[in-house]
Amino acid sequence: MIKLHDLQFVPFIAEDTILEAIDTIGDKLNQDLANKNPLFIGVLNGAFIFVSEIAKRFNYNCEVSFVKLASYEGVKSTQTVKQLVGLNEDVTGRTVVVLEDIVDTGNTLETIVTLLKNQGCSEIKIATLFYKPEVYNKEIILDYIGIEIPNRFIVGYGLDYNGLGRNLNEIYQLKSNNMTNLVLFGPPGAGKGTQAEVLKQKYDLVHISTGDVFRYNIKNATELGTLAKSYIDKGQLVPDEVTINMLNAEVDKTPDAKGFIFDGFPRTEAQADSLSELLSSKGVEVSAMVALEVEDEILVKRLLQRGETSGRADDADEDVIRNRIKVYYDETAILKNYYQKQDKYFGVDGVGAIDEITERLSAVIDKL
């Protein structure tokens, strides 16, 4: 997360993705405009990085220039006269490629295209690095589009928020502050499920337990269930790809959620990375990892007891239970480190009465 002036922004589009999109546009421009000696016109200020990246990729003769759009109040209060500032080249009869950092409503673009047409361009092509299809309301065809994005406020890679952020190598989006996303952590038997039920009501969150979703799928003999069963019965982790896809699908089911309690996810670093990507695509992030801490021997006792009534095969066998606890510490304790590095790890004593433990968890959540 970064702060620009008064606002917080979270990572949204990685540099690699941006560079790939620029490569694709560069290839197409090379195919379409070889030997046409095009004039690339970048629209300042935002397009300066995009223009330089395109110029580096264009393999034929070309010229590069920049314009700004200036508005002058006309004689009547409602009349605004727009003008291109800085266009010194004679564009008559030329192929011009307008390079935009972002096209949203298309108002700026329309003005520029009209002004260029009036100056006698014979061919005008439009290339934009980012495009918001949801809000574009003009007829002008965008010939080269880098990346389509939802209608969100973004900064980086030339784009700014009140002057700041242009020098960021990746795209950030405005952080939305109205979601609480908790990773509820703890070894099997720590009481995550019980506490999640309480916290879900208290904070109006959606509870996603990957273990429960797997068990539901096994019960209903779905393809996912069949795939997961062999791993689960042995107390092993289901492969990341399967688990991550399933988690993404679960999150997508409630697009208006106020937040989520992730219970049993992430369990590997790859899962944690993918969760962070998923949440950042919504302008939010993991708020905290709250971990219930309980001694191993207490866990074994609790799980064997639960096995008497739960009907869960993985609760009935002490060896399987011990393996699950071991897997937890071996493979997933790195996540403590992962979230600790981001100052998001909160250990909570998981031994005591249910409401006592809820209180300890709430004390952490209320401060987020």
Catalytic residue among 94, 267, 282, 360: 267
Binding residues among 167-226 for ligand AMP as defined by CB under 6 A: 188, 210-211, 214
CB of 240 to ligand AMP, least distance (A): 7
Residue from 128, 324, 338, 345 binding ligand AMP (CB under 6 A): 324
Catalytic residue among 36, 306, 322, 336: 306
Q: Is 57 annotated as catalytic?
A: no
Q: Is 192 annotated as catalytic?
A: yes
Phi–psi pair at 126, nearest 5 degrees: -115, 130
Phi–psi pair at 85, nearest 5 degrees: -100, 130
Cβ-contact 104, 135 below 8 angstroms: yes
CA–CA separation, 174 vs 287, rounded Å? 15
Sheet of 154-155, strand order? 2-4, 7-13, 171-174, 154-155
Cβ-contact 274, 265 below 8 angstroms: no
Residues in the chain, total: 368
Q: Is 267 annotated as catalytic?
A: yes
Return the number of the residue (104 or 263) whose C-beta is nearest ligand AMP.
263
Determine the Cα angle at 133 with ends 128 and 138, to 5°.
Answer: 80
CB of 282 to ligand AMP, least distance (A): 20
Part in contact with ligand AMP (CB under 6 A); list of ranges 46-54, 144-152, 234-242, 293-301 = 234-242
Total residues binding ligand AMP (CB under 6 A): 16
Residue from 48, 66, 203, 231 binding ligand AMP (CB under 6 A): 231
Residue from 186, 235, 283, 350 binding ligand AMP (CB under 6 A): 235
Cβ-contact 37, 62 below 8 angstroms: yes
Return the number of the residue (115 or 242) whose C-beta is nearest ligand AMP.
242
Part in contact with ligand AMP (CB under 6 A); list of ranges 39-47, 60-68, 134-142, 230-238 = 230-238
Residue from 265, 339, 345, 346 binding ligand AMP (CB under 6 A): 265
Residue from 94, 125, 200, 267 binding ligand AMP (CB under 6 A): 267
- Tally helices (H) and strands (E) across the chain: 13, 15
Return the number of the residue (117 or 301) whose C-beta is nearest ligand AMP.
301
Give me 79's structure tokens.
């009349």
Cβ-contact 130, 151 below 8 angstroms: no
Answer yes or no whether residue 232 interacts with ligand AMP by CB under 6 A.
Answer: yes
Answer yes or no whether residue 156 interacts with ligand AMP by CB under 6 A.
Answer: no
DSSP string computed for 28-72: HHHHHHTTS--EEEEETTTTHHHHHHHHHH--S--EEEEEEEEEE
Return the number of the residue (188 or 191) whose C-beta is nearest ligand AMP.
188
- Residue nearest to ligand AMP according to CB distances in the complex: 211
CB of 228 to ligand AMP, least distance (A): 7
Catalytic residue among 312, 322, 336, 344: 312
3-state class (DSSP) for residue 353: coil
CB of 247 to ligand AMP, least distance (A): 7
Return the number of the residue (12 or 260) whose C-beta is nearest ligand AMP.
260
CB of 152 to ligand AMP, least distance (A): 28
Name the residue with tokens 């996540």. Answer: 335
Return the number of the residue (46 or 350) whose C-beta is nearest ligand AMP.
350
CA–CA separation, 230 vs 234, rounded Å? 7
Part in contact with ligand AMP (CB under 6 A); list of ranges 41-49, 167-175, 262-270, 299-307 = 262-270
Return the number of the residue (180 or 210) whose C-beta is nearest ligand AMP.
210
Sheet of 63-73, strand order? 80-85, 63-73, 39-43, 95-103, 123-131, 144-148
CA–CA separation, 128 vs 110, rounded Å? 13
Catalytic residues: 192, 267, 306, 312, 324
